Structure 1
C-alpha cells in the first residue's frame, strides 16, 4: 500500500490553531510552555510578568564596572510602576508563587541569574527597613 505524502496529510488538518486564537509571544530565554503559563498568570492577576522580566534584564544589561542605583518611582499607575526595577522584581516574585512547578523552576533559574548580577552591581543599604532583600539596596534620591 503506498504511503501518503506529508503535504497531503497536512492538507487534511485545519490551518487555524486548535486553541482558537493566536499563540502567545514567547518570552525570550523561556520555553513556549512557560511563556503560556506566564500568560495565564498575567490574565488572572492583571500583572505584566513578561514586561517585568524584560525591565529587570534591561536594568542589568549594560556591562559596567560602577554600581547601579535603582530609581524609586512613586507613581501609582500600572504603566509607570515598572520604571522602578524593584517593583518589577516584586511582580516576578508574585508570579513565582503562582506558577506551576515546571514553569516556576524555569523562571526561577532565569530570575536567580539576574538576582546574582543585581546583588553584584548594586550596593546594600544597611539602614533600610524593607522586607525584601532587593529593596534593601541603595537608591538614587
Structure 2
C-alpha cells in the first residue's frame, strides 16, 4: 500500500491517503442509530480536503483496490466490503442518479442521495 501511494501519479493519492480514506469512510458510518446518512460534496477540491466527501474517499479506495498486488488487495477488500455494507444500509438510493451522471462513469456509491454539508454538521 505504501508503495502504491508513493508511486501513484494520481493527484488524490499521496502517502497516507488510503488510511485517511478508510478513517473518513468509517467516520461517516460511525454515528449510531438507523437514521439515514447523506454524503455531501466538499467546497474545497484540494487532495486532502476532497476526502471529506465520503464518496471521493471511496473513489480513492476503489483506485487502490484496482492497483494493489493480490495480497494487499484482498486485505483492503475485506475491510472495504464491510464498510460498503454499512454504507448501503445507512444511505438511500437516488432515484434520479441516472439523470445526473451517465451510468458507468462513477461507482455505485455516487448513486445514493446526497445532503447539504451544513445540515449534516448541525450549523444550519
Provide Cα deviations, 1:21-43, integer angstroms capped at 9, x if missing partner. Answer: xxxxxxxxxxxxxxxxx111111
State the match for 1:138 in structure 2: 113
Q: Does 1:44 align with 2:31?
A: no
State the match for 1:98 in structure 2: 67
Provide Cα deviations, 1:65-95, integer angstroms capped at 9, x if missing partner. Answer: 1100001124221121011000000000000
Tell me how far apart the structure 1 counterparts of residues 29 and 67 of structure 2 sit (CA, whole Å): 25
What does 1:120-139 align with in structure 2 at a 5 Å threshold? 120-129=89-98, 130=101, 131-139=106-114
Unpaired runs of 5+ residues, structure 2, are 117-124
SS in 1 for 2:97: coil
The CA RMSD over aligned residues, in Å, is 1.2
Residues 70-79 or 102-111, more deviating = 70-79
Task: Using CA pairs under 8 Å that are at least 6 residues apart, name the structure with larger relative contact order, 1 or 2.
Answer: 2
Q: Does 1:111 align with 2:74?
A: no
Normalised by the size of structure 1, how large is the TM-score?
0.70
- Kindly name which structure, 1 or 2, has the bigger radius of gyration based on alpha carbons: 1
SS in 2 for 1:58: helix
Residues 84-93 or 58-67, more deviating = 58-67
Tell me the matched-pair count. 104
Which of the pair is proportionally richer in helix? Answer: 2
